[in-house]
Structure 1
Amino acid sequence: MTPQSVDVLIVGAGAAGMMCAVEAGRRGRSVRVLDHARAPGEKIRISGGGRCNFTNLGTTHGMGPANFLGENPRFATSALKRFSQHDFVKRVDAAGIAWHEKTLGQLFCDDSAKQIIRMLTDDMRAAGVGLSLGVSVERVGRLGDGYEAALSDGSVVRARSLVLATGGKSIPKMGATGWAYDAARGFGLRVTETRPALVPLTFEAGLLEQLKPLAGVAVDAVVKGGGTSFAEAMLFTHRGLSGPAILQISSYWREGEAITVAMAPGEDVYARLKAAKEENGKQMVHTALGHIIPRRLAESVCEREGVKGKLAEVGDRTLRRLDAAVNAWTVKPVGSEGYRTAEVTLGGIATDQLDQQTMAAKAVPGLYVIGEAADVTGWLGGYNFQWAWSSGWAAGQVC
């Protein structure tokens, strides 16, 4: 079979890969995008409850680095500045996609995440980009001053530029693998330690049994750990803890460390219980606490602290203990739910190997790394999508 020759071969038809393809195609480059999935943008499709949290208004070059993790969080600054959240919103508006803002600057489609995928595939088609689905790369390497890739369908593609855009290991049921890391190592690039991020945390069996009645209970909380804190919703699950606050802290938490949770932030639980005692000492302690936090949680806290009976029967020391149990609950997770449910992968292809202006590998001409494959991980809430758009755009200007 005669090899196909293109200017740019992009492996990965996700957010970053499709964005890069559109930009390169608009520059008149011949572009082919490959993906082993049967449909493009699968992680886009399932994101944001099916409505795609496609960016965050807080993703600017001024504050952006504070919302990203990696060996060098500032690496993301250049791309985020040159193609910002406002630039992507303009494209969404131009495509006629209605959207709305939720809490903390998060932007979602009014209708469906499929609209974002359709916008990208329409733009690729208009730019003359070739899209091959259900095809994987069996082997890839240098050939002269370009690249040659042997594909699973038996064909061979030669390209002047190769873009690694297959993301990380998160959500393997969607087809995620560590292919980009392996390919990068094959070209001599360093890969940092990778681990699941934006992922629920799990508890040991004894604590799980104790907390089993709380599965499904949600509270607004402040969760501290790994040197930082997040004030968002938290959810008790049958495996441990989830919800935005926990997903955020999971990117900073490490095995063996504890987290501290305030489940009634801003409330002086001791003062509230003290006042309730003076007003009606015959009230049961868990009932009074249930006016501050969800009833099931109040019952669990009282049981865990061994507090029973009426308010009139407990002293100030006990009330202060309940205050601490609610707003300074310290617990040590044993792990996370892993890549199975992690929204992103922390770590990746080291950014000191890449040019932050172009996303090109410094020591390997014509090789580019974009999106989640690179060691850039954003907070929950649209930051990772904006990194995909920005890094894909940056590479697309030059590849």
Structure 2
Amino acid sequence: MTYNTIILGAGAAGMMCAAHCGGRVLVIDHAKAPGEKIRISGGGRCNFTNMYAGPANFLSQNPHFCKSALARYTQWDFIDLVGRHGIAWHEKTLGQLFCDDSSKQIVQMLLDEMTRAGADLWLRTEVKALRKTEAGFALEVDREGARHSLTCHNLVLATGGKSIPKMGATGLAYDIAQQFNLRVTDTRAALVPFTFSDGRFKELSGVSLPARLSNDRNSFDEALLFTHRGLSGPSVLQLSSYWHEAEAIRVNLIPDLPLFDLLRDQRQAGGRKALTTELARHLPSRLVDHLAQHIPMKGNLADQSDAALNDLISALSEWQLTPSGTEGYRTAEVTLGGIDTDDLSSKTMEARDVPGLYAIGEAVDVTGWLGGYNFQWAWSSGHAAGKAISAR
């Protein structure tokens, strides 16, 4: 069977690409259903894009690579598509957009777009062999126990990265890229919780508060969540993409709280109160109890000099922690790194030295922040490749 285009991966990028390729298109995936990461995202409501998506929200060895695709298919273009399909949505914090109802609506929208474009979908299908031909590519695939020989002019790698292997994630895109001499940058888990081998935060599991997490490369003001294994929450997931092994992070537990002024004023009005009691008015009490084991907090407010209060503020705003590691690909939302952008065209996503071979989405060394940015990269890069293929 001969196709104009075969797309490996029925995820966000692959389905988006299939809707724009034109010609005879086949999408292949080993999963039982398409768009599984879409389905589970955003608590089942899919944080499908971000109102503020732009190049600054993406990590890559080449920070300029994503600009072209993001500019030619923006968040507003995808929002318009969602609207045309009658999907109601709402904005949460920091420009994050979610379905009012279910993430399954986004999956169905993409399937409808694929149907409109005439693309075929084969699920429960595994690639067994792949080679380059003069006309394009030849594949041997196993579809539910039956062997098929396929050929195509264009091959699109849209199988994602290594994150969440229990959903079937593999490094297939990287293996195929290397088969055709495309380079692959170092990869690691990103948007992932930090772990501490000593279990120091077990007693705080479930405690959450606004915080600022930072290192020498970036800083994020979002919620922090203590877990039985370490630290999680949006601020942690964001910083994990910028974290290097054995590196200390800084935690500010009071980023927008004028705690010095509050404590000093209360010292005048109610100096007999225990310092820890007053702190528990502004921070979770379980956290105060934990911190009291490491930071001087004894005595009443009246016993605290301005210098002592300043020392306390410094300890709470400059808490240094060194994670043992992260939860790894098991819970990572994305894979950092991937197919080297130096080997791809930023306009078409085509391999520079392998005509007809394209790479899109998470498989590429472009990784977005938490908050809908990675989906936007999937839409933008999938659209870029699809339009380039349709124009050939």
2:52 to 51, 54, 58: 58
1:223 counterpart = 2:213: yes
**Which amino acid is the alignment partner of residue 331 of structure 2?**
T
Q: Secondary structure at the match of 1:152?
A: strand
**Which amino acid is the alignment partner of residue 43 of structure 2?**
G
Instruction: Tell me which stretches of 4 or more aligned residues in structure 1 moved more than 4 Å.
Output: none
* 8 A Cα contact 1:16 1:388, kept in partner: yes
Structure 1 equivalent of residue 349 of structure 2: 359
Structure 1 equivalent of residue 31 of structure 2: 37
RMSD of Structure 2 on Structure 1 (CA) = 1.2
TM-score after normalising by structure 2: 0.96
Structure 2 equivalent of residue 13 of structure 1: 10
1:393 counterpart = 2:390: no
2:169 to 157, 176, 181: 176
2:104 to 106, 114, 119: 114
Q: Describe the superposition over 1:31-71 as per-residue Cα deviations: whole angstroms up to 9, x where unpaired.
A: 00000000000000011111000011112xxxx22110011
1:289 to 257, 279, 301: 279
Q: Which runs of 5+ in 2 are unaligned?
A: none
**Partners of 2:289 and 2:43 in 1: how far apart?**
31
Q: Describe the superposition over 1:339-361 as per-residue Cα deviations: whole angstroms up to 9, x where unpaired.
A: 00100000000001000110000
1:394 is displaced (CA, Å) by 0.6
Query: Which range is displaced more, 140-149 or 264-273?
Result: 264-273
**Partners of 1:93 and 1:376 in 2: how far apart?**
27
Structure 1 equivalent of residue 322 of structure 2: 332
Structure 1 equivalent of residue 362 of structure 2: 372
* 8 A Cα contact 1:347 1:375, kept in partner: yes
Q: Describe the superposition over 1:336-388 as per-residue Cα deviations: whole angstroms up to 9, x where unpaired.
A: 00000100000000001000110000000100000000000011111110000
* 8 A Cα contact 2:192 2:327, kept in partner: yes
Q: Secondary structure at the match of 2:375?
A: helix
* 8 A Cα contact 2:47 2:97, kept in partner: yes
**Partners of 1:381 and 1:160 in 2: how far apart?**
36
Query: Which range is displaced more, 173-182 or 138-147?
Result: 138-147
1:343 to 320, 333, 351: 333
* 8 A Cα contact 1:226 1:249, kept in partner: no
1:265 counterpart = 2:255: yes
1:191 counterpart = 2:184: yes
**Partners of 1:332 and 1:272 in 2: how far apart?**
30
Q: Secondary structure at the match of 1:191?
A: coil
**Partners of 1:325 and 1:199 in 2: how far apart?**
26
Q: How many equivalent pairs are there?
A: 386
* 8 A Cα contact 2:296 2:312, kept in partner: no
Q: Describe the superposition over 1:237-267 as per-residue Cα deviations: whole angstroms up to 9, x where unpaired.
A: 1111111111100000111211111111122
**Which amino acid is the alignment partner of residue 259 of structure 2?**
V
**Partners of 2:375 and 2:216 in 1: how far apart?**
24
Structure 2 equivalent of residue 127 of structure 1: 117
Q: Secondary structure at the match of 1:73?
A: coil
Q: Percent identity?
A: 55
* 8 A Cα contact 2:184 2:339, kept in partner: yes
1:277 is displaced (CA, Å) by 2.1
* 8 A Cα contact 1:226 1:254, kept in partner: no
* 8 A Cα contact 1:192 1:348, kept in partner: yes
**Partners of 1:254 and 1:88 in 2: how far apart?**
34
* 8 A Cα contact 1:355 1:362, kept in partner: yes
1:151 to 135, 141, 145: 141
Structure 2 equivalent of residue 137 of structure 1: 127
* 8 A Cα contact 2:55 2:70, kept in partner: no
Q: Which runs of 5+ in 1 are unaligned?
A: none
**Partners of 1:73 and 1:54 in 2: how far apart?**
22
1:73 is displaced (CA, Å) by 1.6
Q: Describe the superposition over 1:112-155 as per-residue Cα deviations: whole angstroms up to 9, x where unpaired.
A: 00000000111111221110001111111102231011112311
Structure 2 equivalent of residue 214 of structure 1: 204
**Which amino acid is the alignment partner of residue 156 of structure 1?**
S
Query: Which range is displaced more, 123-132 or 174-183?
Result: 123-132
**Partners of 1:215 and 1:226 in 2: how far apart?**
27
**Which amino acid is the alignment partner of residue 328 of structure 2?**
G
- For residues 42-121 of structure 1, the aligned pairs below 5 Å read 42-59=36-53, 64-121=54-111
* 8 A Cα contact 1:226 1:253, kept in partner: no
1:202 is displaced (CA, Å) by 1.0
